Amino acid sequence: MTDLLIGGRWTGAIDERTREIRCPADGSLVAVVDEGGGKDAAEAVAAARQAFDQGPWPRTPAGPRGDLLLRVADLVARDKDALARAESLDTGKRLAESRLDVDDAVACFRYYGRLVRTETGRVVDTGTAHAVSRVVHEPVGVCALITPWNCPLPQTSWKVAPALAAGNTFVLKPSELTPSTAIALMRLLVEAGLPDGVANLVLGPGPEAGAPLTDNPDVDMVSFTGGLRTGRRVMAAAAGTVKRTSLELSGKNPNVVFADADFGTAVDHALTAVFRHSGQVCSAGARLMVEDSVHDAFVEAVVHRARGIRLGGPFDERAQTGPLISAAHRARVEAYVAAGLAEGARLRCGGTCPDDPALADGYYFLPTVLDRCHSGMSVLADESFGPVLTVERFASEDEAVRLANDTVYGLAGAVWSGDEERARRVASRLRLGTVWINDYHPCLPQAEWGGFKQSGTGRELGPGGLAEYRETKHIWRNTRPRPRGWFA
């Protein structure tokens, strides 16, 4: 077995452990992969360190670095079908969604391949004729890139592309549950001509293969996407050597609907906002907030359509959403719903596993709506990361803003209103990294992505995504050196 990439060599795990990857839609065996741990992580860091300190990549000019990223984009596009299939088998996600995720990865590599050529340093006016001052960008160094299981290929691409564009070397540690497209992407980087040791891949569980990356003194930066609790651990571990940290964490995202919104469109988007990929999307609109006067009719319409959502495996073309990632995750979602009911929420639909025998081998959970939710309930404070929609009501614009901001999270959300002025006003008052107006979920490679508050410290995509992986250095050159004479 050779699923780990260390110093340009495909290799097995030092302890020869392996892991079965099973499709969450039916439990079928997808692959058996190497499962690494601390020793593998240490070797990978050493390889990335050597490639950074001695290899050509950090000193390669931006033009050829950009060219390589554009070649990677072409290779990912070439392998779109195989990559989408692998992503769907690992995650259980509908094939159509996985195909969009591959497009997202292609767009990301293209974007950074082009951007890095145009992002130059600058010359600063020194105010004197005998000095020249330049501000230049340099790579941070060795980056540990740690990614979750919900959108593995895009999340990996959002880190790998800007890290490479900036000239870094890296060790990637994907989720132990969904390693297939990470392995495939590393193969494409090698095929594109990336020098040995620049890209390293370690597989294995987070505490064993990921944690050792976060406190290794030879790692300069940790870029982490995952849950809030793990993010806190990563930040604490990285603090020991003052690593740069870029954290993309959980969300509990408000979807705010005013009475003057286009009713049918807002209902339709409220469903995709939360039930797409069974709610396993960091920006899922899991917190529906509806203005009093339309609340009952709106919730009724959402519940009616949620009851009709068809569940199924990734290759079932009639399926509208899929399974949860694992039995453990489904148990967490069940416990989350039970806690909400115990606190007084009302179950409007779902709340349990489907009884369809065709779905019995997968980790399915019915689209669930809980209304009568209010501040102080755990279902509003916590992210379920499942197909669970909580519903609140509000009476005024001020109340909507106050409730929406009453959370430790600040990732994303939406405002629905026919009054453009109001929508813009509310969007600007929401403490969220991304606000959609009369839409939900679109994401652009050119526009930054990242959370406010405890949803993270980092920015991905856009020029800010590249800035995360660069140091900025000021070089002052005295063209006519003379003694100062102060201490003569």
* Nearest residue to 116 via CA among 188, 191, 167: 167
Q: What is the per-residue burial (b if ≥16 Cβ within 10 Å, else e) of 411-431?
A: bbbbbbbeeeeebeebbebbb
For residues 396-435, which are near ligand NAP according to CB under 6 A? 411
What part of residues 270-329 is at the interface with ligand NAP (CB under 6 A)? 282
Rule CB under 6 A: is residue 370 a binding residue for ligand NAP?
no
Q: Which two tokens stand for residue 94?
A: 């509908």
* By CB under 6 A, residue 178 contacts ligand NAP: no
Of the pair 94, 393, the CB lying nearest ligand NAP is at 94
User: What is the phi-psi region of residue 92: left when phi exceeds 0, alpha when psi lies from -120 to 50, beta otherwise?
Assistant: left
What is the footprint of ligand NAP within residues 372-401 (CB under 6 A)? 383, 385
The single residue of 108, 143, 151, 282 carrying the catalytic annotation is 282
For residues 410 and 388, the answer to whether their CB atoms sit within 8 Å is no
CB of 250 to ligand NAP, least distance (A): 3
Verify binding: residue 207, ligand NAP, rule CB under 6 A.
Answer: yes
Contact between 13 and ligand NAP per CB under 6 A: no
CA angle 383, 389, 391 (to 5 degrees): 105
Catalytic residue among 248, 383, 460, 468: 248
Q: How many other β-carbons are positioned within 10 Å of the β-carbon of residue 395?
A: 11
Q: Which is nearer to ligand NAP, 371 or 460 (CB)?
A: 460
Q: For residues 95 and 319, give the distance between their C-alpha atoms in angstroms, rounded to a whole number.
A: 10
Q: Which residues 49-88 are close enough to bind ligand NAP by CB under 6 A?
A: none
Which residues, 228 to 247, sit near ligand NAP by CB under 6 A? 230, 233-234
Please report whether residue 451 would count as binding ligand NAP according to CB under 6 A: yes
Cα–Cα distance for residue pair 183/81, rounded to 1 Å: 16
Size of the site for ligand NAP (CB under 6 A): 33
Q: Which is nearer to ligand NAP, 104 or 176 (CB)?
A: 176
CB of 56 to ligand NAP, least distance (A): 30
- Least Å distance, CB 375 to ligand NAP, is 21
Nearest to 116 by CA among 185, 177, 70: 70
Catalytic residue status for 282: yes
- Provide the minimum distance between the beta carbon of 98 and ligand NAP in the complex, in angstroms, as a whole number: 15
Least Å from the CB of residue 419 to ligand NAP:
30
Q: Which residue is nearest to ligand NAP (CB)?
A: 206
Contact between 282 and 152 under an 8 Å Cβ cutoff? The reply is no
Q: How far is the CB of 434 from ligand NAP (least distance, A)?
A: 10
**Residue 143 a catalytic site member:** no
Can you list the alpha helix ranges (DSSP code H) found in 197-317?
211-214, 228-239, 263-275, 292-307
User: Considering just the CA atoms, what is the radius of gyration of the chain in Å?
Assistant: 24
Q: Considering the rule CB under 6 A, would residue 225 count as an interface residue with ligand NAP?
A: yes
Minimum distance between the CB of residue 487 and ligand NAP, rounded to whole angstroms?
A: 51
Contact letters for ligand NAP, residues 120-149 (x by CB under 6 A): --------------------------xxxx
Identify which of residues 5 and 349 has a Cβ nearer to ligand NAP in the complex: 5
Q: Which of 222, 208, 124, 115 is nearest to 168 (CA)?
A: 222
Nearer to ligand NAP, 58 or 451 (CB): 451
Q: What is the dihedral of CA 159, 161, 165, 170, to 10 degrees?
A: 50
Give the one residue of 7, 8, 227, 418 binding ligand NAP; rule: CB under 6 A.
Answer: 227
How far is it, in rounded angstroms, from Cα 176 to Cα 185?
A: 16
**Nearest Cα to 412, choosing from 429, 392, 431?**
431
Q: Residue 297 to residues 266, 294, 338, 393: CA-CA distances in angstroms? A: 12, 6, 25, 12
The rounded distance, in Å, linking the Cα atoms of 80 and 35 is 26
Cβ-based nearer residue to ligand NAP, 168 or 230: 230
Name the residue nearer to ligand NAP (CB basis): 155 or 368. 155
**By three-state DSSP, how is residue 234 classified?**
helix
Q: Which is nearer to ligand NAP, 334 or 397 (CB)?
A: 334
Q: Any contact of residue 336 with ligand NAP (CB under 6 A)?
A: no
Cβ at position 69, least distance to ligand NAP in Å: 21
Q: Which is nearer to ligand NAP, 55 or 92 (CB)?
A: 92
Cβ atoms of residues 410 and 451 within 8 Å: yes
* DSSP string for residues in 321-347: B---S-HHHHHHHHHHHHHHHHTT-EE
Among 3, 35, 40, 248, binds ligand NAP (CB under 6 A): 248
Using the rule CB under 6 A, is 162 a contact of ligand NAP?
no
Contact between 205 and ligand NAP by CB under 6 A: the answer reads yes
Please pick, from the candidates 113, 210, 413, 445, the single residue that binds ligand NAP as defined by CB under 6 A.
210
Cα dihedral sign, 209-176-382-153: positive
Residues 6+ apart with CB under 8 A from 300: none
Binding stretches for ligand NAP (CB under 6 A): 146-150, 155, 173-176, 205-207, 210-211, 214, 225-227, 230, 233-234, 248-251, 282, 383, 385, 411, 451, 455-456
Q: Which residues are catalytic?
A: 248, 282
